[in-house]
Structure 1
Amino acid sequence: MSTRAESSLISTSLASASSLVLLQLVSRVFTFVLNQLLVRLVSPQVFGTAAIQFELLLSTILFLSREGTRNALLRAGKGILTWTPIQANVALLPVLFGIPITIISTVTYLYASSDTTTSQPHFTLSVFIYALAAFCELLSEPLYIRAQNELRFDVRVRIEGTAVFAKTITAFMILVSTSPQLALVAFAAGQAAYGFTMLLGFLYTYVGSAEYWPKKIPVNAHGNTKFVYFDGKLLSLAGSMTTQSVFKHFLTEGDKFLVSRLSPLEDQGGYAVASNYGSLVARIVFQPIEETARVFFSKTLSSETSAKKEGTDNLKTAGNVLSGLLLAFSHLLCLLVTFAPPYLPLALRLALPSRYLTTSAPAILHTYIYYIPTMAFNGVLEAFFASTATTSHLRAQSWWMVVFSLMFVFAAIMFTQNLGLGDSGLVWANVLNLWLRAAYAWRFVRGYFMQKGAKDALSLWKCVPPIGVLGAFILSAVVTRTTQSLYQSKPLTIPGQLGHILVGAGCVLGCLATCFLLERSTFRQLHSLLRRR
């Protein structure tokens, strides 16, 4: 890749990251406001069914149908932003495989649901609407993948933003204008509005380009022309990533699987509320960063050895970007562990409806203090892995995913049953699982840079704040926990906890000032890198 092309790719990636963050911010604000209203309009049982069980059905259909193909097509060409007929054929796989996956997942869910769940009004109708919504999204997938590969993030931001708005308005209007008996249908109709809007938006953008059956493509093989449907290497990569996505999906959504099977509907509602609150930052910031990192690393790096100078430059750039992200996440971990525990009780009292304070929601939100940065570390490291791993690496990781899955189940049982942590034990099991996956990906990343002769491009010490910064956070942790104990007898209101709040604000400013003073050189390097691009 030329320097100019590389610079263009980085600037495009940075622009896409900011656009996706803005998209997530707007969509999550809409969703957050909607959820704030919904938790007051519907019972915890209904909210748990929709936000845990129906969302789990939806994510199972979508993840298993499209995840492997998406990641494989991002690597179809290093730095290539064009769309070829062979890529278009592979992009149809989510639709073709999505049909049986949708049917099997829906029937399995209906068959496995408990009598308490299925006895809710219009339950079966709502399930079928969710399945239809999922398939509408899959119909838009080939065009979505094309927009991603062409780095047309403006298209995605516009269409997804409109779809989130349609989902929010549809669900809310049905809830406030009809009987509570239609609460589940309202959630389902909102998801259907999202799926239809996604499909119509991409059809309009790529008008006349949508085809849903692969075509034979002429290719030149050793001087002879033959007609094929798929590129063998690309298809093999997509197959490996799709197989791996089965384990990855279970590990990602394992807590919801277990909650939906083991917990009563009321606690599922509390778990759903906690998940929506706790993952707000992760979805607004970390999800766009992870997606953009996957695009950037896929287009910048290759599993094949490139030219010496070009390869060294690309590796240094990739190492700097990855180090910067991991360093930022290290600061986030310090910030959350230092300040969240002493101020979370007040935040919960102010934000959670009173009926959810007696559910598992408060305990689960405590665990999100550690779960959020863990998701960040794991997300960007696995993005690098998915962008650079060969088929043999993916096969080896799949075996380790099996091991991680068994360890997750064992940890979930230990934490929830033996240690008595309840539903929050599932989140702790997820934290352990994500750290194991992140450690595996880190080991691969370090090996990748060493194999390419750039072992200095990334090191653990580049990703950890200096001792002075860590000391400032430790001192702040002691001070804020001291004031928390002093204000323990005061009411959990802003006036009652004002002194505690002011101390926390002062400590936050002190930590930020320390970071700025001790890490100016790091900030300058990152700023210089971004300015050059």
Structure 2
Amino acid sequence: MGSEDVLKSASALASYNVLLQVMFRLLTFFLNAFTLRFVSKELIGVVNVRLMLLYSTLVFLSREAFRRACLSGEGAGRNWRQVINLLWFTLPLGCLWGALLVCVWLWLLQAPDSQTIPHYGPAVGIFCMAALTELLAEPLWVLAHAHMLVRLKVIAESLAMIAKCLVTVVMVVAAPEWGLYIFSAAQCVYAGFLSLCYVVYFLHFLGSEEAETKSFPLRHISELLPTSINGQPLLNWKLATLTWSFFKQSFLKQILTEGERYVMTFLNVLNFGDQGVYDIVNNLGSMVARFLFLPIEESFYVFFAKVLERGRDVRKQKQDEVSMAANVLECLLKLVLLIGLIITAFGYSYSHLALDMYGGELLSSGSGPSLLRCYSFYVLLLAINGITECFVFAAMSKEEVDRYNLVMLGLSASFLMLSYWLTGLFGAVGFILANCSNMALRIIHSLIYIHHYFQHSDYTPLSGLRPHPALVIALIISAVITVLSEHMLCCDGGWVLRLGHISVGAVCLLVVITVAFLTERRLVQFIRTQLLPKYSKKRT
């Protein structure tokens, strides 16, 4: 697959993933708003913080290193039999992690009050089984991702999320007294549907004309099982070593990604009710990061990993591919920076209104608005870090990955200490401040790496972090106007005044987008041709 084809596939994958994540987050958004009317915030805290932390930790530590390593490598020359054999190690590794984590969650952590929140013990076991069920599809996921089977991911995860939401809604209405059993069953349905969709797809796909056209390396479903290879090693040990390097890194990255939940869970700095409010605000604040930035990062990591030769000096690589990678990186940085600046500029003035409309006084009173306002700035840092680390992880050599593990270790330790200290001073807001500090340090490290990577070439992709002055002025004026609008129109008045505040924001946003369209022409062209392939095809 040529570089242009890889770029088109990665762009299509990003577009599909964005649409998929938009749907996911909207479903979750309305699901949380619905369940808040039927269950307590304490139950939400146990499910969304304690149990989902167990699930995400088990899944992430079991598969993340394998994904990063197996999506790198030798491209078309890789031995997929060895790759599949390696990927199946995710399941026994998941069983080991599951046994360890269940023991910790049951016997080392303080259990919630059984009178208020019953069935905690069985729920821990069920969430663990759901995570192991999702790991069954890991070899299929990597195969699909490596060969750009973009529709499979969309369909599988869509069906799984819809099924989970339906189960949750029906059981919350019909039997709210079941408590944790409701969310445990819904998570099992999600994992089961996800794995089943991948299996059914490959049963139909393998051996078909489409598979022949794509030169798919497997022909029968039995080839997806781990088997020995005559005259060849069972595993590609170079790939296995790279996986181990990523595994050490993924452990530290998980602490950074879910650090506030680990602090809440293991240090008991917030009660379950406050954890529930923080998690809801966190989900609202990170919605754009999850449904927009993360899919772009995942998709273009595949692009950078395929186009660039890992660990090789930029002067010794194919210059047309280096040029393409640099141009794509610059446009991506400019895109996520623009989105992040818009969220930061408008987030302050609309946090209180958003929480009041979403969860009523339960969320809009207390620390909720302050949390969401701080998160609007954190989203800007998330946007930049996602793309810069996406490139860095695709370009680093194994030795550089190992050295970066030491950096991650220092960041993890400082984050945990900073979280504990700042939470004591500022409450839940301290978690976001600690995240901002650590995210800024990660961005600085990535920017230094990218600068050194391209310093002996004619490319300056970091110029994507310099927005046009007219755009900056438009954002500053819009932020001032919306702050004044909130003070005069929102949020103790009626819906007429609130609609007036919303209208002011809509006009300001339209002005900002117009200025961006007129000043960032290269970015607009990139979005049209790469991130909106269907639109591009219509024009041609």
Q: Provide the C-alpha distance between the structure 1 equivalents of 2:95 and 2:131, rounded to a whole number of angstroms.
A: 10
Report the 3-state secondary structure (helix = DSSP H, G, I; strand = E; otherwise coil) of the residue aligned with 2:232: strand
Are 2:51 and 1:54 aligned? yes
1:29 matches 2:41: no
Question: What corresponds to 2:142 in structure 1?
Answer: 145
The residue number in structure 2 matching 1:268 is 275
In the superposition, the TM-score normalised over structure 2's length comes to: 0.89
Which whole-Å CA distance do the structure 1 matches of 2:346 and 2:93 have between them?
Answer: 46
Give the match for residue 332 of structure 1. Answer: 339
The answer to whether the 8 A contact 1:118-1:124 is kept is: no
Q: Name the structure 1 match of 2:215.
A: none
**2:468 maps to which residue?**
466
Letter of the 2:518 counterpart: L
User: Using the alignment, how far apart are the partners of 1:214 and 1:525 within structure 2?
Assistant: 42
Displacement of 1:406 in angstroms is 1.9
Aligned to 1:501: 502
Look up the match of 1:517: 518
| TM-score of the pair, normalised by structure 1 | 0.90
Give the aligned partner of residue 151 of structure 2.
154
What is the CA-CA distance between 1:430 and the residue it aligns to? 0.9
Contact map agreement 1:83 1:146 (CA 8 A) in 2:
no
Which residue pairs with 1:369 in the alignment? 376
Bigger shift: residues 335-344 or 89-98: 335-344
Q: Is the 8 Å Cα contact of residues 143 and 210 (structure 1) preserved in structure 2?
A: no
Secondary structure of 2:467 counterpart:
coil
Please tell me whether residue 174 in structure 1 is matched to residue 171 in structure 2. Answer: yes
Q: Could you tell me how far 1:335 is from its partner in structure 2?
A: 1.2
Give the alignment partner of residue 227 of structure 2, picking from 203, 211, 215: 215
CA distance in 1, matches of 2:511, 2:400: 44
- In structure 1, the partner of 2:214 is none
SS of equivalent to 1:227: coil
Task: Indicate conservation of the 8 Å contact 1:92/1:212, yes or no.
Answer: no
- After TM superposition, give the deviation of residue 234 of structure 1 in Å: 0.4
5 Å-filtered alignment, 1:387-466, equals 387-417=394-424, 420-450=425-455, 453-454=456-457, 456-466=458-468
What is the correspondence of 1:252-267 to structure 2 with a 5 Å cutoff? 252-260=257-265, 261-267=268-274
- The answer on whether the counterparts of 2:263 and 2:420 sit within 8 Å (CA) in structure 1 is no
| Aligned-pair CA distance for 1:526 | 6.2
Following superposition, the deviation at residue 499 of structure 1 comes to: 4.1
User: What whole-Å deviation, never above 9, does each CA across 1:208-257 have from its counterpart, x for those lacking one?
Assistant: 62678743324xxxxxxx43111111000001001111110001000111
The correspondence of residues 305-384 of structure 1 with structure 2, limited to 5 A, is 305=312, 311-358=318-365, 360-384=367-391
The answer to whether the aligner puts 1:188 opposite 2:184 as a matched pair is yes
1:102-141 to 2 correspondences below 5 Å: 102-117=98-113, 120-141=117-138
Distance 1:357 1:345, change over 3 A: closer
2:370, 2:481 → 1: CA distance? 23
Deviation string 1:89-143 (CA, Å, 9 cap, x unpaired) is 1111211211111111111111122143566211111111101100000111111
* Farther-moved stretch of structure 1 (457-466 vs 291-300): 457-466
Q: CA deviation at 1:397?
A: 0.8
Deviation of the 1:367 alpha carbon: 1.7
Letter in 1 for 2:147: E
The SS at the match of 2:37 is helix
CA contact (8 A) 2:269 2:423 kept: no
The 1:325–1:194 alpha-carbon spacing in structure 2 relative to 1, beyond 3 Å, is same
Q: 1:482 aligns with which of 453, 461, 484?
A: 484
Native 8 Å contact 1:270 1:359 kept in 2? no
Kindly indicate whether the alpha-carbon contact (under 8 Å) linking 2:102 and 2:124 is maintained by their aligned counterparts in 1.
Answer: yes
- Work out whether residues 84 and 224 of structure 2, in 8 Å CA contact, stay in contact via their aligned partners in 1: no
The farther-off stretch of 493-502 and 140-149 is 493-502
- Alpha-carbon contact 1:375-1:434 (below 8 Å) kept: yes
What is the percentage of aligned positions where both structures have the same residue?
A: 29
Greater displacement, 502-511 / 305-314: 305-314
2:314 touches 2:453 (CA, 8 Å); kept in 1?
no
Whole-angstrom CA distance in 1 between matches of 2:26 and 2:495: 23
Q: 1:393 to 1:191 in 2, by over 3 A?
A: same
Shift of 1:301: 1.1
Q: Kindly indicate whether the alpha-carbon contact (under 8 Å) linking 1:76 and 1:234 is maintained by their aligned counterparts in 2.
A: yes
Contact 2:293/2:336 (<8 A) preserved: no
- 93, 114, 125: which one aligns with 1:97: 93
**Paired residue type of 2:440:** W
- Of 292-301 and 351-360, the range deviating more from structure 2: 351-360
Output the amino acid matched with 2:465. Answer: C
Deviates more, 1:395-404 or 1:309-318: 309-318
In structure 2, what is the equivalent of residue 223 of structure 1? none
> Is residue 267–residue 360 contact of structure 1 (8 Å, CA) maintained in 2?
no
Q: Please list every run of 5 or more consecutive structure 1 residues that lacks an aligned counterpart in the other structure.
A: 219-225
Residues 209, 442 of structure 1: alpha-carbon distance in 2 compared, 3 angstrom cutoff: farther
Q: Is the alpha carbon distance of 1:117 and 1:10 closer, same or farther for their aligned partners in structure 2, counting shifts above 3 Å?
A: farther
The match for 1:85 is 81
Query: Partners in 1 of 2:114 and 2:241 — Cα distance?
Result: 40
Query: What secondary structure, in the 3-state scheme, does the structure 2 residue paired with 1:114 have?
Result: coil
SS at 2:15 equivalent: helix
CA contact (8 A) 1:45 1:269 kept: yes
Deviation at 1:358, TM superposition (A): 4.1
Whole-angstrom CA distance in 1 between matches of 2:305 and 2:311: 12
The answer to whether the 8 A contact 1:270-1:361 is kept is yes
Task: Give the stretch that moved more between structures: 250-259 or 407-416.
Answer: 407-416
Alignment of 1:275-314 (within 5 A): 275-303=282-310, 305=312, 311-314=318-321
From the superposition, tell whether residues 342 and 237 of structure 1 become closer, same or farther in structure 2 (CA, over 3 Å): same
SS of the equivalent of 1:496 reads helix
Query: Does the Cα contact within 8 Å between 1:89 and 1:214 map onto a contact in 2?
Result: yes
Question: Which residue of the partner structure matches residue 251 of structure 1?
Answer: 256
